[in-house]
Every structure is written in C-alpha cells, then in structure tokens.
C-alpha cells in the first residue's frame, strides 16, 4: 500500500435549484464517502477489520492562511503535537464498519425471521452522530442481506433541514460609519444608553403593509435585528402622543424600520420625535449576547480551536449558539464550559467596544465566514481573552451578566451542535424551576436530595423487571395466537397459507407474530397479516424458501394488498411490510 495518495476531486452538480443554479455535494460528504468506502474495501480485500487510515496520515484541506499554518505544523511535527488530532476526534465514521454498523445491522442466525430492513432512524443516527454516509450504510447493509428504509431516513433529514433553516438566519454585520454608509441609512446612536436616555429624532419616512406599519427616523437608539440579536422595542413620543414600538428591523439600504400598530396610527412624515428604548429588555439582551461570546470562548478552550460559530440567536430570556463540533459533548465538558464562563462573570472583566479598520484587525480576533464586513468594523473585547467582530450590543462588565446556565446541548446537523443557555434573571428562573421540580420528585420518592439518585435507580430496576415479565407474558400469548394461526393454515397450490387480521400492540409485535407463524408452519409457508395500529393499517408478509421457489414473494404480496387498500409498501421475497389506506377494507383484502 502506498504511504500517501493525492486525489483531485472535481465538483459536479447533482441537482439544480429552481432558478437553475447548480447544487454541489458538500466536499466533507465526498471525503467521508471516499475514506469510508476505501477503508471498507481494503478490509474486505485483505480479510482484516478495524481502522485503515491511521490518524497520523489524515490530510487536511487548505482553505486559508490559518489552514496553511496548521498544515505546516502538521507536516513538521505530527497531528498530535500540532493539536490537530486528539483521541476519538477525527473521522469517527472510519471505525464504524467494524464496530457500530456491524453491531446494529448484522443479523444473527437466531434472527432468520427478523425484519431485513435497517430503520431510517438508525441510518440517520449513523449519519448525524457519526457522519456515516447513507450510501455507505446501504452498501454495508446489502452485504448482510439487509435494506435501508430510505424514506424514513429522508423524513429525519427533512426534520434536520427544518431545524437548520430555523437556525440559520443570515448573520450580517453592516458597518455603518460616517462617510461610508448608504445615503438613506439610519444613524444608530444606541450603543451607550441608560434607563433615562432619550434620543431626539425626525420622522423621515413610513412603510406600510396590510397589517403593520413601520417608522423611519433620521437617527435612532433602537437596535435593529441583526447578527442573531433580536431588535429593540420601546416607544416614541410624537406630537405629544405615545407610539409603542414592538420591534426593529433593518432594510437593505440600512434604514431602521420601527414596527408599530396598524397603518391607521401612522404619524405624518416630518414630525419631531423622542425615542425611548425599553432599557430593561435591552439589558437582558445584552447579557445574553455577551454570554454567547463567553460560551464561544469557553467552547474553544474546552473542545479545541476547531470550534467555530455557525449561527446564534439572542433574546431577553435565552440564547442559542450553534457551533462546529464532531460529536455530542459529555456532561463533564458541559460542566467545564459552564464553570469557565461563570468564573469570567465573577471576575467582572471590562467589555470594550471599538471601531477599527477591518484590514488592520489583530490576528487573534474572530471573524466569521459568511458575514459581510465593511471597511470599518466593530471589535468587542472581553477581558482581553475574547475578541470578536460584532455589531451587537453588550454589557459593560461581565459581572452584569450575573449567571450563565446551559440548559441544553444537541445536534442540529452532521458536524454541527447547538447549545441553549440563559443568563441573568432568566438563568436564575431556570435554576429555581429545576429546584422546584427536584423538590416534587423528592416528595414523590420520599427521599432527600442525596437519596434521589438511589431511589430512582431502584424504581427503574423494578420497572425493567416488570417489563421483562410483561414481555414474557406477551410472548406466551403471542405463541398461543401463532399456534392457532398456524393450525388454521390453508393449503393452496401446494403451499400453506395464513392470511388474517390480527391484534398487535405495535409494529414489532406484528412482525414477531408473523415470524412465529412462519416458523411453526415450516416448509412451504406463506404468511400475510394485517393489523390496525393507532387506527392505521399495518401489513407484514413472509415467504419460506419453498414458497419463493414456487414463485411467491413477500414484496409482491404486500404490493397486491396495498393496491387493494390504497396504501404503500414493499420489501424482499422473504419479508416485506406496508401500510396505510382504507382500514375498512382490510379484512376483505386479506381473504384468500
């Protein structure tokens, strides 16, 4: 085997958007497929198992100056010394062919009658958690006589896309500075305000929609939604009349649009106004925005410098921070991040903002791919350790944040994680709510705080024992039903047929019953069963080897049944499943 390989990958569009633009397969997916497939094929050819591509040989793409430096360190030292690779960090999918996939997908001889399809949820878990491509899962499954429920996989993938679309509002920081801004851009004067601040402004335009109206002033202290930070609310005094402002957004020309009530309440252009931001709400937003910067800094300290912001959302009562990372964070890592950020809160470091030239920004300042920067940008420096280009509003010292509490950590896409957190009063409210819930659990378990875990473990153990007994009882009951069905088999064209409507708790129970009937009949068995699960039709079919030789196929049987019912389904000659359609015609469809 060569000690290194060079590959030239040319992008080819796999589909086009509605306007005809090509859509390319992401390069990381291509690399995943290439490395996974070659590792699998090499193992198969050599009769070996385990990793083929050793971590010391992993290559990295050069996308910029920082990557070039990483590449240099990688070559002259080694990936571990360069802090590019840590145990378990890179490409976990390469280990899957001989580990995770084999455990989940390879049937044992005892499961000869078991379903021959990997659920779409499992395939998606392999893709989402391990970065394991669907096509590779299909290859491995086919080698073991299995198929993959691609339709269910696509359902999970679409759910993920919806989460991604909700999370990825385009974060654009627009640098508005004198002499550079668009002629119509609103002058923003709201970085340094307090509870008594009032800005005198002139109403220069109004924008009306069917339901809402927006006011445009020559200058404003209201922050417009941007960079993941929600817009300000408050009120304006115009000609002695109070006008409530419920939200602030920005249009393409840089004008701040202050949302008010219906069009009927729109004041006349040219009126003088006094603008007041809801300062309590703004302070709560500031806490969450600065907390997001601290979380970003702490994630890079705990997980590594590969962590990059991928999207954020900051509101008065919570924050969401999406970032690049390859696996679920452990509880220890989450505790470490939370500990670090709250230590910095206690330190009460100054938060300093300054306008600088983008071309002269220090090397240690974080800027984000996809964001658009003007000639002048705003640098937010927290204590000298967290430096980011950011146009949002912040606290003046970290102590103002009060408390940061991580409330959730989850995956939103392959290689992308999300942290949800609360700061200040919102964090305290969360902790109080958790304490109240714990008190309720303590009372129900009749246990002290230190005894809850032990009591709960005991209850869960008891529950598992009861579930085992219940399954044993259900198995006996199912065996009895299987005996009755097998005894009632009808001989037709030399084969023994069972076609019936049965009662089943769930899809697994229906499959198990069909498998039992197949084995009880033995040679020449053909089994097709239907049941109503949650009011919906569910079908399974099994064919013995003799039945298959005689021309029968489970997939064709299911196809015939679903055609009668108006449902859908399919499978292989030995096993197939389907569902949907007219439940009232189920018994008629199963008549031989």
Same domain, 339 and 260: no
pLDDT at residue 83 tops 60: no
CATH of residue 392: 3.30.980.10
For 118, list phi and psi in degrees, rounded to 5. Answer: -80, 125
With cut-offs at 50, 70 and 90, classify the pLDDT of residue 452.
confident
State how far the Cα of 435 lies from the Cα of 441, in Å rounded to an integer: 10
Same domain, 314 and 419: yes
User: What number is the average pLDDT over the span 26-55?
Assistant: 62
State how far the Cα of 478 lies from the Cα of 219, in Å rounded to an integer: 75
Q: Tokens 């000609």 map to which residue?
A: 239
Same domain, 31 and 130: yes
- Closest to 528 measured CA to CA, from 567, 565, 501: 501
User: What number is the average pLDDT over the span 332-336?
Assistant: 97
Helix (H, G, I), strand (E, B) or coil at 245: strand
Same domain, 324 and 435: yes
Q: What is the pLDDT of residue 61?
A: 44
CATH of residue 585: 3.10.310.40
Q: Is residue 62 part of a domain?
A: no
Out of 4-18, 86-100, 362-376, 541-555, which region has the weakest mean confidence (pLDDT)?
A: 86-100
Same domain, 296 and 262: no
Assess contact for 354 and 362: CB atoms under 8 A: no
Q: What is the pLDDT of residue 383?
A: 95
State how far the Cα of 90 lies from the Cα of 119, in Å rounded to an integer: 26
Report pLDDT digits (tens) over 551-585: 999 999 999 999 999 998 989 999 999 988 889 99
Count of structural domains, the chain: 4
Same domain, 576 and 485: yes
According to the per-residue pLDDT averaged within each range, which of 128-132, 303-307, 424-428 is highest?
Answer: 424-428
pLDDT at residue 416 tops 70: yes
Q: What is the pLDDT of residue 51?
A: 60
Report pLDDT digits (tens) over 428-439: 999 999 999 888
According to the per-residue pLDDT averaged within each range, which of 26-40, 107-121, 524-538 is highest?
Answer: 524-538
According to the per-residue pLDDT averaged within each range, which of 20-34, 131-145, 485-499 is highest?
Answer: 485-499
- Closest to 120 measured CA to CA, from 159, 93, 91: 159
Same domain, 437 and 302: yes
First to last CA, the chain: 60
DSSP sequence for 378-403: EEEEETTTEEEE--S---SBGGGG--
CATH of residue 260: 2.40.30.130
State how far the Cα of 398 lies from the Cα of 382, in Å rounded to an integer: 8
Residue at which a domain ends, from 255, 277, 299: 277
With cut-offs at 50, 70 and 90, classify the pLDDT of residue 183.
low
Token pair of 294, please? 């601290």
Residue at which a domain ends, from 277, 296, 312: 277
Q: Is residue 228 part of a domain?
A: yes
Report pLDDT digits (tens) over 257-286: 999 976 667 888 999 999 999 999 999 999
pLDDT at residue 103 tops 70: no
Q: Is residue 266 part of a domain?
A: yes
Report pLDDT digits (tens) over 290-329: 999 999 999 999 999 889 898 899 999 999 999 999 889 9
Residue at which a domain ends, from 233, 261, 277: 277
Q: Is residue 208 part of a domain?
A: yes
Same domain, 259 and 273: yes
State how far the Cα of 251 lies from the Cα of 174, in Å rounded to an integer: 11
Instruction: Give the domain range for residue 359.
Output: 283-444
Alpha-carbon distances of 52 from 55, 90, 134, 137, 363, rounded to whole Å: 9, 13, 20, 18, 37
Q: Is residue 211 part of a domain?
A: yes
- Which strand (E) or helix (H) includes residue 155? helix 150-167
Same domain, 255 and 230: yes
Same domain, 236 and 269: yes
pLDDT at residue 16 tops 50: yes
Same domain, 193 and 310: no
Q: What is the mean pLDDT of the chain?
A: 80
User: What number is the average pLDDT over the span 122-127?
Assistant: 81
pLDDT at residue 131 tops 80: no
* Length of the chain as a residue count: 592
Same domain, 436 and 293: yes
Q: Is residue 467 part of a domain?
A: no
Instruction: Please list, in sequence order, all residues whose beta carbon lies within 8 angstroms of the beta carbon of residue 489, skipping any fewer than 6 positions away.
Output: 496, 497, 498, 521, 525
With cut-offs at 50, 70 and 90, classify the pLDDT of residue 34.
low
Report pLDDT digits (tens) over 205-249: 999 888 889 999 999 999 999 989 999 999 999 998 999 999 999
Q: Is residue 262 part of a domain?
A: yes
State how far the Cα of 539 lies from the Cα of 554, in Å rounded to an integer: 11
Q: Is residue 360 part of a domain?
A: yes
């Amino acid at each position: 085997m060569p000690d290194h390989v060079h590959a030239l990958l040319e992008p080819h569009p796999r589909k086009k958007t509605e306007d005809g633009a090509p859509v390319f397969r992401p390069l990381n997916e291509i690399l995943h497929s290439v490395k996974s497939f070659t590792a699998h094929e090499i193992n198969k050819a050599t009769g070996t198992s385990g990793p083929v591509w050793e971590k010391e040989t992993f290559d990295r793409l050069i996308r910029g100056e920082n990557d070039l430096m990483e590449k240099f360190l990688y070559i002259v030292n080694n990936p571990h010394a360069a802090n590019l690779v840590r145990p378990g960090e890179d490409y976990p999918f390469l280990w899957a062919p001989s580990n995770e996939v084999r455990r989940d997908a390879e049937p044992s001889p005892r499961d000869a009658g078991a379903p021959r399809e990997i659920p779409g949820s499992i395939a998606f878990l392999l893709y989402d958690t391990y970065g394991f491509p669907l096509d590779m899962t299909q290859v491995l499954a086919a080698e073991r006589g299995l198929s993959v429920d691609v339709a269910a996989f696509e359902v999970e993938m679409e759910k993920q896309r919806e989460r991604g679309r909700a999370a990825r509002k385009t974060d654009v920081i627009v640098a508005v500075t004198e002499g550079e801004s668009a002629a119509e851009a609103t002058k923003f004067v709201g970085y340094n305000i307090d509870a008594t601040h009032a800005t005198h402004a002139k109403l220069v335009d109004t924008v009306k929609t069917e339901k809402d109206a927006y006011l445009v002033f020559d200058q404003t202290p209201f922050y417009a939604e941007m960079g993941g930070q929600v817009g300000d609310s408050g009120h304006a005094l115009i000609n002695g009349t109070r006008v409530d402002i419920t939200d602030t957004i920005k249009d393409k020309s840089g004008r701040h649009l202050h949302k008010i009530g219906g069009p009927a309440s729109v004041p006349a252009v040219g009126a003088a106004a006094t603008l007041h931001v809801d300062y309590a709400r703004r302070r709560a937003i500031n806490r969450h925005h600065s907390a997001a910067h601290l979380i970003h800094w702490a994630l890079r300290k705990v997980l590594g410098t590969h962590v990059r912001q991928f999207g954020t959302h900051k509101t008065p009562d919570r924050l969401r921070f999406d970032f690049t990372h390859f696996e679920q964070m452990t509880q220890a890592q989450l505790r470490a991040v939370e500990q670090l950020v709250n230590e910095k809160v206690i330190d009460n470091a100054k938060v300093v903002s300054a306008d600088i030239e983008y071309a002269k920004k220090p090397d240690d300042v974080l800027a984000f791919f996809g964001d658009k920067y003007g000639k002048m940008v705003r640098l937010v420096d927290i204590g000298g350790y967290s430096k980011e280009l950011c146009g949002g509003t912040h606290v003046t010292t970290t102590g103002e944040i009060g408390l940061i509490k991580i409330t959730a950590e989850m995956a939103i896409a392959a290689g992308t994680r999300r942290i949800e957190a609360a700061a200040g009063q919102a964090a305290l409210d969360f902790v109080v709510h958790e304490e109240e819930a714990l008190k309720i659990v303590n009372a129900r378990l009749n246990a002290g705080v230190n005894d809850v875990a032990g009591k709960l473990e005991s209850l869960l153990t008891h529950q598992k024992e009861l579930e085992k007994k219940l399954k044993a009882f259900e198995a006996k009951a199912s065996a009895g039903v299987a005996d009755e069905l097998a005894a009632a088999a009808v001989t037709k064209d030399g084969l023994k047929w069972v076609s019936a409507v049965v009662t089943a708790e769930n899809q697994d129970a229906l499959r198990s019953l069909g498998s039992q009937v197949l084995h009880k009949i033995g040679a020449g068995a053909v089994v097709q069963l239907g049941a109503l699960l949650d009011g919906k039709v569910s079908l399974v079919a099994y064919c013995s080897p003799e039945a298959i030789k005689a021309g029968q196929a489970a997939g064709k049987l299911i196809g015939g049944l679903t055609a009668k019912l108006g449902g859908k389904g399919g499978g292989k000659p030995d096993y197939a499943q389907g569902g949907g359609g007219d439940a009232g015609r189920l018994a008629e469809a199963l008549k031989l």
